[in-house]
Structure 1
Amino acid sequence: MDGIAEKVSVVDGGVNNNNTANSGKFPLTAWEVAVASGVVLGFLLGLVGVYLTMPASDYGFLKLPRSLQDLQILRDNLESYTSDYTVQVLVGYCLVYVFMQTFMIPGTVFMSLLAGSLFGVIKGVALVVFTATAGASSCFFLSKIIGRPLVFSLWPDKLTFFQSQVAKRRESLLNYMLFLRVTPTLPNTFINVASPIVDIPYHTFFLATFIGLIPAAFVTVRAGIALGELQSVGDLYDFQSIATLFLIGIVTVTPTLIGNKNKNNDACDINSNVL
């Protein structure tokens, strides 16, 4: 634990030093910008490939949805292509979702709604969980390569808090990460980009992401089936939905709390016997 504490203080010091040294400077080096640009180019080439295999048509409706109205227009136009060009629509959907997750672009909630509207609950949930996990993993590895200065620059205080919480829960890290994924305690975007910075192993990150995103994906995808009835994105997460997610989150950390309590009791018994 002393080593972990030292590591936390080193990271904290690193945050402060980086903030002081990089104040007013662009946080990424030329090489890091080149890496990010290469990833963007790869996604663009994939989307161009999908576009070239689609029939000649007016695709002016294709844009990232920023409102429910944009999403309904996109859904209405894509419905006619989904049955005849299922593979192209799926590949295009996956590329866009993973791209948005990789570069922390807001709006994936609309993509989840679209999955439910186009593919139904079961296929929609499977698609969203797959693409969200792939996008989070892509963000994880990209952040591992170039993300440190960016995280230090954008979220120094939040990173310090996250580092300290991870350090205290190393023995039950999967439960803690599941709790974060299920509940809105920390934004998923921040978790994706900060996890490699605080040395969370990828297998733990992957399992927590894959399992922990299922409840929220189900809520969103199911709402996408009745897309025309939604008045705002806020309608997705009513009190009942949020309470359910928190209940699931509490269940995920309960075994850890019980285990810690038993360890403390055992330690007290040992001390009593020694005395």
Structure 2
Amino acid sequence: MKAKSILEPTLLRRLPIVVILVGAILGVWFLRDTLTFETLRGNRQLLIDFRDANPVMSVLVFVTVYIVIVAFSLPGATVATLTGGFLFATFPGVMYNVLGATVGASALFLAARWGLGERLSAKMDGSTGAIKRIKDGIDENQWSMLFLIRLVPAVPFFVANLVPAVVGVPLHRFVISTALGIVPGALVFTSIGNGLGAVFDRGESPDLSIVFEPSVLLPLMGLCALAALPIVVKAIRRSKNG
């Protein structure tokens, strides 16, 4: 009975992250060829008609689908962001995209922290050597690190959701940094989505390489540098005091 009472809470705590992992695997297997630009192109008029006939419901359905895509790390997050701009224009489309991404990311964060993060964070706190130094470094610069991993395009979105859960970041810091940190990227892709109608009319696909244009990339890199500045300042002060 005692072993059973210990086992049940452990399984219960890991159930959310297990469900998400299973959903992610099934999603990659069944939806990788569904949530695509071609699907959006083929259903564009159907989506527009539904939006025009059900303005409030279309927003609720869109945000809910976006939450599910992010929470389960399903393929198609970029297509979903472009769809937000395509259906709702840059504004308020960017707000719907940020809302869906933030809620979905928070759901994944909570599932990971509840199932794995608290124990791993405690083990890292009790460890020594390099692992402990890494954990301490993240703890000392949580806000800067959280904004940095959101702003750097090379960091996959699901990684930026899971790492904070593992190192014990408080929920409110995760939510705030996510909601604000993804705004620049969301704004760029939502604005691209706003012009998808003309792109589809020409029989073309959206040019996502625009994110690497200097006019877009340089401001993003500037924000990354701003987020990293407190870390650099602390390191310089530590080296001088040492």
TM-score normalized by the length of structure 1: 0.65
User: 211, 217, 241: which one pairs with 1:237?
Assistant: 211
Of the three residues 77, 80, 83, the one matched with 1:108 is 77
Identity of aligned residues (%): 20
- Between the two proteins, the alignment pairs up a number of residues equal to 206
Query: Aligned-pair distance for 1:218?
Result: 0.4
CA shift in 2, pair 1:87/1:98, >3 Å: same
How far residue 168 of structure 1 moved from its aligned partner, in angstroms, is 1.2
**Which residue of 241, 248, 252 maps to 2:223?**
248
Q: What's the CA shift for 1:111?
A: 0.7
Summarize the Cα distance change of 1:117–1:108 in structure 2 as closer, same or farther, 3 Å threshold.
Answer: same
Q: Tell which structure's C-alpha radius of gyration is larger.
A: 1
The letter of the residue matching 1:191 is A
User: Which residue in the other structure is 1:212 paired with?
Assistant: 181
Contact persistence 1:180–1:186 (CA under 8 A): yes
Identify unmatched segments of 5+ residues in structure 1: 1-28, 41-62, 152-160, 269-275
- Aligned match of 1:193: 162
* Structure 2 counterpart SS, 1:179: helix
Q: How does 1:62-211 map to 2 (within 5 A)?
A: 65-146=34-115, 165-211=134-180
The answer on whether the counterparts of 2:149 and 2:155 sit within 8 Å (CA) in structure 1 is: yes
The corresponding residue for 2:5 is none
Which amino acid in structure 2 is aligned with residue 235 of structure 1? S
Change (3 A) 1:164 1:180: farther
Shift of 1:217: 0.1
Question: Is 2:199 the counterpart of 1:225?
Answer: no
Instruction: Give 1:164 deviation, angstroms.
Output: 6.0
- Please report how far the alpha carbon of residue 255 of structure 1 lies from its aligned counterpart in structure 2 after TM superposition: 3.2
Higher helix share: 2
CA–CA distance in structure 2, aligned partners of residues 87 and 213 of structure 1: 24
Structure 2 letter corresponding to 1:106? P
Deviation of 1:176 after TM superposition, in Å, equals: 1.2
Query: Offset at 1:35?
Result: 4.3
Q: Is the 8 A contact 2:112 2:165 kept in 1?
A: yes
Inter-partner Cα distance in structure 2 for 1:129 and 1:32: 28
Would the aligned equivalents of 1:113 and 1:221 in 2 still touch at CA under 8 Å? Answer: yes
Q: Which moved more, 1:138-147 or 1:119-128?
A: 138-147
Aligned to 2:53, the other structure's residue is in SS state coil
Is the contact made by 1:147 and 1:193 (CA closer than 8 Å) also made in structure 2?
A: no
Deviation at 1:232, TM superposition (A): 4.8
**Residues of 2 paired with 1:66 and 1:39: CA distance?**
18
Q: How big is the shift at 1:89?
A: 1.0
Q: Per-residue CA shift, 1:128-184, capped at 9, x if unaligned?
A: 111111010011111123356xx9xxxxxxxxx998645313222101110110112
Cα pair 1:163 1:198 within 8 Å, conserved: no
SS of residue matched to 1:195:
helix
Shift of 1:116: 0.5
5+ long unaligned stretches in structure 2: 1-9, 22-31, 121-129
Instruction: Determine the C-alpha separation between the residues in 1 that align with 2:37 and 2:164.
Output: 31
Aligned pair in 2 of structure 1 residues 197, 36: CA closer, same or farther (>3 Å)? closer
Q: Which amino acid aligns with 2:174?
A: F
